[in-house]
């Protein structure tokens, strides 16, 4: 009997020790909440995916893929802190219309126009084009402002299985005539462009907010060149067979000194050390294209100049966003870090334009 009591006591002590150790581990490890991690209040070199950048009330803001759209801010572009997520709770219209979407929201875009911040976001699941792009607006990005409140405006554009495009990775631009355009796309038939009907933004139209039919402005062109793919690229494309091998995504349009520049990502993200993402650019005098590279090749036919690819620090760099802040262009993207076992890290550079009006990234 004594032996049983001693064994039971030792077992109880052991359980308490393990429980205490587990509690300590849980306290030390970041835990995902809705839209953010429990992390130190301030941190550097953040993990991030699909970032875009903005500046408001003296702080820089990064929005990125995450539950409810991840948000963090910085006063100096070096030290960051997490802010509250944008979509909390996740919009019911998206949960009800996109199979598999439960709040993990991809690839946002942030733009300021006519006194409002426009945040476009993607609702989807890997390898499927049953997707939707939504829009939320706010008067400010500063969470301490009394005007701070995200208002969801609902559906912008949807894709279904029979469409030849995928409604993710949105980016909005207002052209020099004041028209609002949306570019988006991933795999399938590549990068799409269409005009937004601004009258529909407040209409809650179940058919979305587009004024024109989408047109393809950029392709990787792998669909027609399957025999030219490496075995590795063929294997990767077969992981999402519905998407095909047209490995292009994440468009971003800017206007600078007479040209519209279209940035896209080629090849494959999300593979850690096997990621071979590349950031590519072309330009046009018109927002609708054609977007040509420096050799005159049309991006709709596979053209594009590589701006950043694998180097000494990254296996690949892509899914970029740009913003002009106090006259200076900034470029953000995520890079798969060689120093950190292929983890996806925030990459940030200033942008200049050379004598031939092509963008260059500063060291």
* CATH number of the domain within which 87 lies: 2.115.10.20
In total, how many domains does the chain have? 2
The residue count for the chain: 363
What three-state secondary structure class fits 21?
helix
Say which residue, 282 or 12, is predicted with more confidence: 282
- Name the residues annotated as catalytic: 50, 249
**What is the rounded CA–CA span in Å between residue 201 and residue 203?**
6
In DSSP notation, 282-294 reads: EEESSTT---B-T
Residues 79 and 182 in one domain: yes
The proportion of the chain whose per-residue pLDDT surpasses 70, expressed as a percent, equals 88
Tokens 């299985």 belong to 161
Residues 18 and 44 in one domain: no
State the average pLDDT over residues 149-171. Answer: 96
How many other C-beta atoms can be found within 10 angstroms of the C-beta atom of residue 220? Answer: 24
State pLDDT tens for residues 181-235: 999 999 999 999 999 999 999 998 889 999 989 999 999 876 667 777 778 777 7
For the record, the structure tokens of 46 come out as 């953040």
**What is the rounded CA–CA span in Å between residue 213 and residue 118?**
21
Say which residue, 53 or 31, is predicted with more confidence: 53
Phi, psi of 228 (to 5 degrees): -95, -5
In this predicted structure, what is the pLDDT of residue 43?
Answer: 87
Which residues, at least 6 apart from 65, have a Cβ–Cβ distance to it below 8 Å? 49, 50, 104, 105, 106, 107, 108
CA 23 to each of CA 11, 34, 41: distance values in angstroms, whole numbers, following the listed order: 18, 21, 20
Residues 116 and 191 in one domain: yes
**What is the rounded CA–CA span in Å between residue 20 and residue 35?**
28
Long-range contacts of 323-327 (CB under 8 A, 24+ apart): 323/52, 323/53, 323/54, 323/55, 324/254, 324/256, 325/53, 325/55, 325/60, 326/55
Residues 2 and 145 in one domain: no
State pLDDT tens for residues 85-131: 999 999 999 999 999 899 999 999 999 999 999 999 999 988 889 99
Residues 7 and 102 in one domain: no
Residues 49 and 23 in one domain: no
State the average pLDDT over residues 8-12. Answer: 42
For the record, the structure tokens of 29 come out as 């490890």
When pLDDT is cut at 50, 70 and 90, the band that residue 42 belongs to is: confident
Residues 178 and 325 in one domain: yes
Residues 300 and 285 in one domain: yes
In DSSP notation, 170-220 reads: -EEEE-TTS-EEEEE-BSTT-EEEEEB-GGGTTTT-TT-SBSS--EEEE--
When pLDDT is cut at 50, 70 and 90, the band that residue 17 belongs to is: very low
- What's the mean per-residue pLDDT of the chain? 88
Residues 304 and 278 in one domain: yes
Q: Which domain holds residue 300?
A: 35-361
What predicted TM-score, i.e. pTM, was given to this entire model? 0.87
Q: 299 near 218, Cβ under 8 Å?
A: yes
Which residues, at least 6 apart from 252, have a Cβ–Cβ distance to it below 8 Å? 109, 171, 183, 262, 263, 264, 320, 321, 322
Asked whether the predicted pLDDT for residue 239 surpasses 80, the reply is no
Phi, psi of 155 (to 5 degrees): -75, 135
Q: How far is the first Cα of the chain from the last one, in angstroms, to the nearest whole number?
A: 74
State pLDDT tens for residues 257-301: 999 999 999 999 999 999 999 999 999 999 999 999 999 999 999
Asked whether the predicted pLDDT for residue 27 surpasses 60, the reply is no
**What is the rounded CA–CA span in Å between residue 308 and residue 298?**
19
In this predicted structure, what is the pLDDT of residue 166?
Answer: 96
The proportion of the chain whose per-residue pLDDT surpasses 90, expressed as a percent, equals 77
Residues 2 and 51 in one domain: no
Pairing of β 52-56 and β 59-64: antiparallel
Phi, psi of 199 (to 5 degrees): -70, -20
Residues 17 and 47 in one domain: no
What three-state secondary structure class fits 106?
strand
How many other C-beta atoms can be found within 10 angstroms of the C-beta atom of residue 206? Answer: 10
Residues 126 and 99 in one domain: yes
Q: Would you say the C-alpha torsion 44, 102, 122, 87 has a positive or negative sign?
A: negative
In this predicted structure, what is the pLDDT of residue 223?
Answer: 63
**Any bridge partners for residue 262, and if so which?**
253, 282
């Amino acid at each position: 009997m004594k032996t049983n009591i001693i064994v039971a006591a030792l077992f109880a002590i052991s359980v308490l020790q393990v429980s205490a150790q587990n509690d300590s581990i849980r306290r030390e490890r970041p835990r995902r909440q809705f839209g953010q991690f429990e992390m130190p209040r301030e941190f550097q070199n953040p993990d991030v995916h699909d970032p875009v950048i903005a500046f408001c009330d003296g702080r820089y803001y990064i929005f990125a893929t995450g539950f409810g759209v991840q948000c963090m801010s910085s006063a100096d572009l070096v030290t960051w802190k997490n802010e509250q997520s944008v979509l909390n709770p996740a919009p019911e219209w998206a949960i009800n219309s996109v199979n598999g979407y439960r709040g993990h929201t991809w690839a946002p875009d942030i733009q300021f126009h006519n006194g409002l911040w426009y945040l476009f976001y993607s609702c989807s699941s890997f390898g499927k084009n049953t997707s939707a792009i939504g829009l939320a607006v706010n008067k400010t990005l500063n969470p301490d402002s009394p005007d701070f409140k995200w208002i969801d405006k609902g559906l912008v554009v949807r894709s279904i299985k029979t469409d030849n495009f995928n409604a993710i990775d949105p980016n909005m631009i207002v052209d020099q005539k004041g028209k609002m355009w949306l570019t988006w796309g991933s795999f399938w038939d590549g990068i799409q462009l269409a005009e937004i009907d601004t009258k529909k933004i407040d209409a809650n139209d179940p058919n979305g907010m587009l004024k024109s039919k989408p047109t393809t402005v950029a392709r990787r062109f792998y669909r027609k060149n399957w025999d030219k793919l490496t075995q590795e690229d063929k294997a990767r494309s077969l992981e999402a067979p519905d998407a095909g091998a047209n490995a292009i995504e994440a468009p971003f349009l800017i206007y600078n000194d007479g040209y519209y520049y279209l940035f896209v990502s080629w090849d494959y993200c999300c593979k850690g050390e096997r990621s071979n993402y590349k950031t590519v650019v072309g330009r046009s005098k018109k927002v609708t294209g054609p977007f040509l590279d420096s050799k005159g090749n049309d991006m709709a036919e596979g053209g594009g100049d590589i701006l950043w690819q694998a180097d000494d620090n990254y296996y690949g760099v892509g899914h970029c966003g740009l913003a002009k802040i106090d006259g200076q262009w900034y470029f953000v993207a995520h890079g798969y870090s060689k120093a950190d076992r292929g983890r996806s890290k925030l990459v940030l550079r200033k942008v200049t334009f050379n004598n031939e009006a092509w963008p260059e990234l500063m060291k």
